[in-house]
Homo-oligomer: A and B are copies of this chain.
Amino acid sequence: MNGLLTDLYELTMAAGYFQAGKAEEIATFEFTVRKLPEHRNFVVAAGLPQAVDYLLNLSFSGEEIAYLRSLKQFSHAPPAFFDYLRSFRFTGDLFAVPEGTPLFAGEPLLSLRAPIIEAQIPETYLLSAIAFPTLIASKAARCVQAAAGRAVVEFGTRRAHTPEAGVLGARAAYLGGCAATSNTLAGMQFGVPVSGTSAHAFVMSFACEMEAFRHLQRTLGESTVQLLDTYDAIAGARRAAKLGKPMWGVRLDSGDLAALSRQVRGILDEAGLPDAKIMATGDLDEYKIRELATGGAPGVPGAPIDAFGVGTQLATSADAPALSAVYKMVELSISGIKRFTAKYSADKISVPGAKQVFRGETRDVIARCGECGSGEALLRPVILNGRLAEPLPTLEEARTRAAQSIAKLAPALRELQVTEPWPVIYSRELRELIGCTQRNLRP
């Protein structure tokens, strides 16, 4: 399953390893965020269940193998290679940082040790399956931080890069701290709380706004959220107020959200609806949320908005839509003899040797795997010998881990603007290995 959902070169390299007699060599590859995305002080690890599911089910169907054999790139590959693919299974080990863990530049998120072909083929899938939800969880954490206690709801499936990405994005946004999602399938599949209001089309489909509001209320009862701005937001607010309970509240989707929310709050309060809530939507991001939540200037009170619905900016991580993640071979064991590997090309170097990350009170230390260190060891066994070591934490547990770990970060790191990076240093043993590997390199 999914054997071909990878870059062709992973498969041609696999054929090359096979033909060179390297199939028994044991490689360790690490997934590392080379540098933090723009505007970020940390990222929140996410996507592990999808990565694990992939590794545990990775295989090649007869149709996939037939397709490969039809390609000119495989015309010289030995027939035994296709037999190998036919019985291919992932038999290696995966170590991973738990979902919900904040990470900094240079820290491995995954470490995968397996026969070299089994370690090489997953590169493409793992990079995408981890990087995307990590971006979304990180962006969600920023929006939630900016909202200062008010709810942030993920409304972005329509902007996600495919509807299916919307489902996984919704999961990641919840992990990063969002209160709910509009994506119904994410609700069913992952237990993410679902939330929704109504659209302008609903209002427009009735002869007048009041009729639309009345019908929505009849259908949704206390879950009713009236959308106010189809024609005129203030007139809409008066109609919603006149209708009264039951309702959750109202939604504003355009205009000056701060000013409108104050007017609407007044209208609702005057109508004896102090419990009716106000949700704001419309091209929001963490900066606009912060301005609305805090008032934006000293002495200006925050807008009376109870919940923010965030779409485009969250579902695409629009200001940083790609994670600079790499998956690099760090060591290779040939008949039990270890060789450390690194890349020393112009601007893109990699660090040799399997690693561990220790999170301390004042800094993180990237050490060699097996070293003793102080603090929490972040990389933990997930798959051993091709089998799940223990059930993964639930989504709720990952979400709690995210919230608790972010709350423990140095306060400046939790601000929206970029600050001094958290200190991440190499252990002495790792520094020695770097020097030694570079000296011994034989291109």
Q: Give the Cβ gap from A327 to chain B, nearest Cβ, in Å.
A: 8
Residues of B within 8 A of A407 (CB): none
Q: Is the CB of A316 within 8 A of B442?
A: no
A206 interface contact, C-beta 8 A: yes
Q: Are A8 and B182 in contact (CB under 8 A)?
A: yes
A166: which of B128, B254, B442 is its contact (CB, 8 Å)? Answer: B128
CB–CB A129/B198 < 8 A: no
The interface on chain A, measured as residues whose beta carbon lies within 8 A of the other chain's beta carbons, has a size of 118
Q: For residues 120 through 142 of chain A, which have their beta carbon under 8 Å from a beta carbon of chain B?
A: 120, 123-125, 127-129, 131-132
One of B230, B321, B322 near A443 (C-beta < 8 A): B230
Residue A163 interfacial (CB < 8 Å): yes
The answer to whether B199 touches A19 (Cβ under 8 A) is: no
Flag whether A59 is at the interface (Cβ < 8 A). no
CB within 8 Å of B: which A17-33 residues: 17, 19-20, 22, 25, 27, 29
The answer on a CB contact under 8 Å between B443 and A220 is no
A187 close to B (CB within 8 Å):
yes
User: Could you tell me if B188 and A4 are in contact, using CB atoms closer than 8 angstroms?
Assistant: yes
Q: Does A83 contact B (CB under 8 A)?
A: no
Interface residues of A in 324-365 (CB under 8 A from B): 325, 327-329, 332, 341-348, 350
Most B CB within 10 A of own CB, among A8, A76, A441: A8
Q: How far is the CA of A215 from the CA of B20 in the complex (A)?
A: 6
Pick the residue among B17, B229, B442, B443 that contacts A346 (CB under 8 A).
B229
Interface membership of A39, Cβ < 8 A = no
- Which B residues are in CB contact (< 8 Å) with A5? 163-164, 166-167, 183-185
On A, residues with C-beta under 8 Å from B are 2, 4-13, 15-17, 19-20, 22, 25, 27, 29, 54, 63-64, 67-68, 71-73, 75-77, 116, 120, 123-125, 127-129, 131-132, 155, 157-169, 182-185, 187-188, 194-202, 204-209, 215-216, 218-223, 229-233, 235-236, 253-255, 312, 316-318, 321-323, 325, 327-329, 332, 341-348, 350, 441-443
Q: Is the CB of B254 within 8 A of A347?
A: yes
On whether the beta carbons of A443 and B16 are closer than 8 Å, the reply is no
| Closest CB in chain B relative to A370 CB, distance in Å | 22
Cβ-defined contact, B12 with A345, below 8 A: no
A343 CB contact (under 8 Å) in B7, B169, B200: B200
B13 touches A162 (CB 8 A): no
Cα separation A341 to B321 with both chains bound (whole Å): 35
A261 to chain B, nearest CB (A): 14
**In angstroms, how far is the closest chain B Cβ from the Cβ of A123?**
7
Which one of B25, B27, B128 lies within 8 Å of A157 (CB-CB)? B128
**Of A127, A204, A329, most B-chain CB atoms within 10 Å:** A204
A232 nearest in chain B by CB position: B443
Q: Smallest CB-CB separation from A158: which chain B residue?
A: B127
Q: Closest CB-CB distance, A120 to chain B, in whole Å?
A: 6
